[in-house]
Amino acid sequence: MWPRPGTALAVPVLGALGLAGCTMLGSAPSPADDALAGTSQSNLTSLSEVVAKHPEDPQAYNMRGSVFGEAGRTEQALTDFNKAISLDPNYAQAYANRGLLYRQTNKLDLALADYNKALSIDGGYAPAYLGRGVVYRQQGHGLEALQDFNKAIALKPDNAQAYYERGLLYQIQHQHQFAIDDFTTAIGLASQKAEPRVARALSYLAIGDAKSAAGDLDEAVQIAPGSLQAWASRGLAYERLGQKEKAAGSYAKALNISEKYEPAKAGFARVGGKVGQTYQTF
């Protein structure tokens, strides 16, 4: 899963949209593009068999740790990455994988140390630049984050995740045209991901282009119909366009996902939404 763009709807609709939280939120980055370049959970049993047969193979522990990490089994993942590193202290991917795990659990200093170690071993390892860039962005070190995202893209120019992450950085800095350009590239490289469309829509809203935002969000909610932010953002886009029926329907969809989501509750009230009424969303 991709990280979601920030909760930009947590402000009233007064003037430009306040992109209040466009740092990444809780979801893990795409495993294929960040550090957890592992396998599916269905392989957990077979990987455990490999570990049992080859207890001195660091790659086996690293791969199983990736599966544990994807499944949210943090302690087991950490144990496997630690074991992989103890068996091979120069295993760059294991450090990067452990760095991602630390990043996901908000242990940013530990994450940074692991990404630095991975890059000291392999200075051309793109996932470590990408991961470190996210840490720098979360710590408010914009220049360092930009340098790392640029390096990750230079090393792997087909990495949609890197463009998305750099776009989030530009968005935080209110450089919305640069953000839109990066989100557009990410969409071209990963057309079935909703997150870059939601993120691009937020930048369109920030520059007053509600029509383009609505188009992005129409696609986003079809790709990810369970996305709270896509529906709530779509409600705001159509509210800005004066299309209260679609706005109310979108806010209602968001509230069906989370009835306590304040931005959707406030938006639903602003457009005159009534509980129990049916609204056309398309």
Confidence of residue 3 (pLDDT cuts 50, 70, 90): low
The residue with greater pLDDT, 48 or 152, is 152
Judged against a pLDDT cut of 80, whether residue 177 lies above it is answered with yes
Range name among 25-29, 104-108, 225-229, 274-278 with the lowest pLDDT average: 25-29
Closest by CA to 57, choosing from 25, 16, 91, 28, is: 91
pLDDT at 33 over 60: no
Average pLDDT, rounded, for the chain? 87
pLDDT of residue 31: 34
Decide: 90 and 122 in contact? Cβ < 8 Å.
no
Percent of the chain past pLDDT 90, that is, above it, reads 79
> What's residue 184's pLDDT?
98
Give the model's pLDDT for residue 5: 56
Give the model confidence (pLDDT) of 6-23 as tens digits: 433 332 222 222 222 222
Q: How confident is the model at residue 269 (pLDDT cuts 50, 70, 90)?
A: very high
The pTM of the full predicted model, rounded to 2 decimals, is 0.84
Q: What is the pLDDT of residue 208?
A: 97
For 43-102, what is each residue's pLDDT tens digit?
788 888 889 999 999 999 999 999 999 888 999 999 999 999 999 999 999 999 999 999
Portion of the chain with pLDDT greater than 70, in percent: 85
